[in-house]
Amino acid sequence: MPTVLLSLVTWNSADTIEACLTSVLAQSYPDFEVWVVDNDSHDDTCSRVAALAATDARLSLHQLPRNTGFCGGHNFSLDRTNHELVLLVNPDVEMEPDYLARAVAAIRQHEQIGTVCGLLLQSQEDDPRIDSAGMNALPDGRFGLRLHGQRLSEAGPLSATYVDGADGALPLFRRRFIDDLRVQGEFFDSRFFAHKEDWDIAWRGHLYGWKTLFEPACRALHPRQFLPANLRLRRRLSGAIRTDAVKNQWLLLLKNTTARQAPGLLLRAIPRQLAILGYAALAERESLQAVRYLWQHWREIKATRQLVQLRAHQPWLPVATPGAAPLLSICVPTYHRPELLARTLRSLGPLPAEVEVIISDNSTDNDFSQKVCAHVLQDQPATQWRYFRNPAGGSAATNWVACVERARGQYILMLHDDDYLLPGGLLTMLHTLRRVRQQQHAVLFGVSVVDSGRQELQRQVPRQEKYLPPAAAVEALLTDSSLIRIPALVVSREAYLKTGGPDPSQRDTDDTDLWLRVFAYGGVLQVPAVTAAYSVHDGALTTGVFQEQNIQLLLRIFQKARTQNLLPETRLRRAESHFFHQFVLAGAYRALRHQDASGARKVLQLLRLPALRHLPVSLRWLPVQWGLRLLTLIKWSPPTPPRLVSWLRTSL
């Protein structure tokens, strides 16, 4: 694979794209490929790109069905490639032939350099004006283009130097920098769409310990057009662009301002932002939509801030030492599902040095899964993944045990072959594990519950980062039957070994039984970041698990908690009532969703078992129970539940 990806995002760029791509394809550096991601252009941009692509195999066109902005377009290419380096190229840029070669040489001077930016000039005259020489951070949370507007002769001799950030027109990024800056899987925050996203990257990169190098030998032409602070130009811009200019500045401040920065920075920023708000109220009413946006999305913005600030408290970390024991072992138990296994393995992306992958195969009829592993993982370092074919006669529990025995990592993620990681999910896990290693034995992330077509049914994510000590963790587990989705839980190898692994006698409930022991051993840290997708496929949509045998197995788990005095009896009884009512009512609901009123009635009968009949019914569950009984009588299939009752979608 080529070392460098050149990523261009176009939208009605026909006037400039041919000159830009001509300069791109003329680069002296030999090892690169070019992705042009088009945001649903309505001019002939795509036909012009396609004509050039027909003459050069290094160039490919990727057309999106809607305009996702600068951020969405580049995220599209970043999420689907794993090149060591990535150069973002604006479609109105023309590069000198040696730009890429000089930038690659510069970034390889030190592993802490995450970004290299060059000297962008506004024209080709003898003494042109400078468009940018990197960016400077301003004391009020904004960034300015360094040397912007100066004549080249006025700037004097320019030399390579570290700067506060890189303009988004032509930066070269290191892949490790890209992956480190991902939040909830995204490098560019898609909420920015197309403005100030380079400010966001510069700020986060600085917080995380990365450096940006300005290399004046890298030169390119960039006749800048968009400067939102210029009121005369601003009045000619669309309302959406002006709203984004306001909204994105507030997003920057809310996400990235550290507690230490806050007093001085906000003292300078707030007067300016109040003035902008006043101007908007008087002369630019559409920009007040920024206030509405922040009000509607403040929970998501708060969650993003938590993740950014958590990472900012960690030091910059160099590449892991080759041969060292991995931080994380990703164990993939599989059984005769090669197509799903391929999806799972592809979701891992490029493997960081701190990660190993173990595929533990219970398949007996053929070697399809082994061939899938060899094909999908052929570009991954051979020392970082291992495939094992297990003897016939094993079960899911014995496969689980085999995975733990083969793992070398400090932590273990069980990623079954029908689940998969979301973009950036692995990096998010690693950031957290680096921070809590030696402190936490179980870390629970958020999960996206999806159907067989990868459509999201719901998101199950902790509201805030919070450590639950053993008693509180056990109570949470025994209260909520859907608390744990396996691909969202990372457990230390020590906890697995000390608690004995899954108990095969627990059959379909062995995971809940195992989590009881793990949580009793070390509690659980909840992290508000969605990292994986949990698939609800046809096999999980039956009512097969909602039967008396499984009720008895689950009751055994509660009895173990009693025997070991993990909770006071009053709290355990309350948890037991919530757990079984949620479990049974969810089973009845699911049967009704599949138009099986008879099956729903059978599931509801479980609450009349002698072992459950004595459980008190809280006001939370009584109306649900009555409602489901009524629906079984009229044989009506209920709609998908709203978020307030999403607990009805439990899937064990």
Would you state the pLDDT for residue 253?
92
The CA distance from 375 to 342, in Å, is 9
Lowest mean pLDDT among 49-58, 389-398, 616-625: 616-625
293, two tokens: 């946006």
CB 551 within 8 A of CB 579: no
**Mean per-residue pLDDT over the chain, rounded:** 87
Instruction: Taking residues 319-326, report their average pLDDT.
Output: 66
At residue 299, does pLDDT exceed 80?
A: yes
C-alpha 650, offset from chain centre: 23
Neighbour tally for 588: CB within 10 Å: 29
Neighbour tally for 510: CB within 10 Å: 20
Instruction: Taking residues 485-493, report their average pLDDT.
Output: 95
Tell me the DSSP string of 262-311.
HHHHHHHHHHHHHHHHHHHHHH-GGGGHHHHHHHHTHHHHHHHHHHHHHH
Would you state the pLDDT for residue 645?
46
The CA distance from 547 to 554, in Å, is 11
Would you state the pLDDT for residue 641?
53
The CA distance from 628 to 625, in Å, is 5
Q: What is the pLDDT of residues 92-104, one digit of tens each?
A: 999 999 999 999 9
Neighbour tally for 290: CB within 10 Å: 22
CB 9 within 8 A of CB 17: no
Phi, psi of 457 (to 5 degrees): -95, -40
The CA distance from 44 to 248, in Å, is 31
The CA distance from 516 to 478, in Å, is 8
Lowest mean pLDDT among 167-171, 447-451, 588-592, 636-640: 636-640
Tell me the DSSP string of 592-605.
HHTT-HHHHHHHHG
Lowest mean pLDDT among 336-340, 548-552, 635-639: 635-639
Q: What is the pLDDT of residues 494-540, one digit of tens each?
A: 999 999 888 888 888 888 999 999 999 999 999 999 999 998 865 44
CB 198 within 8 A of CB 171: yes
317, two tokens: 């970390």
Domain 4-221 has CATH 3.90.550.10: yes
Domain 328-543 -> CATH class? alpha beta
The CA distance from 373 to 345, in Å, is 8
Domain boundaries in the chain? 4-221, 235-312, 328-543, 560-651
Would you state the pLDDT for residue 648?
45
The CA distance from 37 to 73, in Å, is 6
The CA distance from 40 to 12, in Å, is 8
Domains 4-221 and 328-543 share a fold: yes
The CA distance from 60 to 352, in Å, is 27
CB 134 within 8 A of CB 197: no
Q: Could you tell me whether strands 32-39 and 4-10 are parallel, antiparallel, or unpaired per DSSP bridges?
A: parallel
Q: What is the pLDDT of residues 222-255, one digit of tens each?
A: 987 555 455 555 555 555 677 777 888 889 999 9
Q: What is the pLDDT of residues 536-591, one digit of tens each?
A: 865 443 446 777 888 888 889 999 999 999 999 999 989 888 888 888 888 888 78
Phi, psi of 392 (to 5 degrees): -65, 155
- Supply angle C-alpha 347, 434, 471, rounded to 5: 95
The CA distance from 510 to 513, in Å, is 5
Would you state the pLDDT for residue 323?
58
Question: Which of 465, 484, 139, 430 has its CA nearest to residue 304?
Answer: 465
At residue 318, does pLDDT exceed 80?
A: no
CB 546 within 8 A of CB 606: yes
According to DSSP, residue 162 is labeled E
CB 341 within 8 A of CB 373: yes
The CA distance from 310 to 527, in Å, is 10
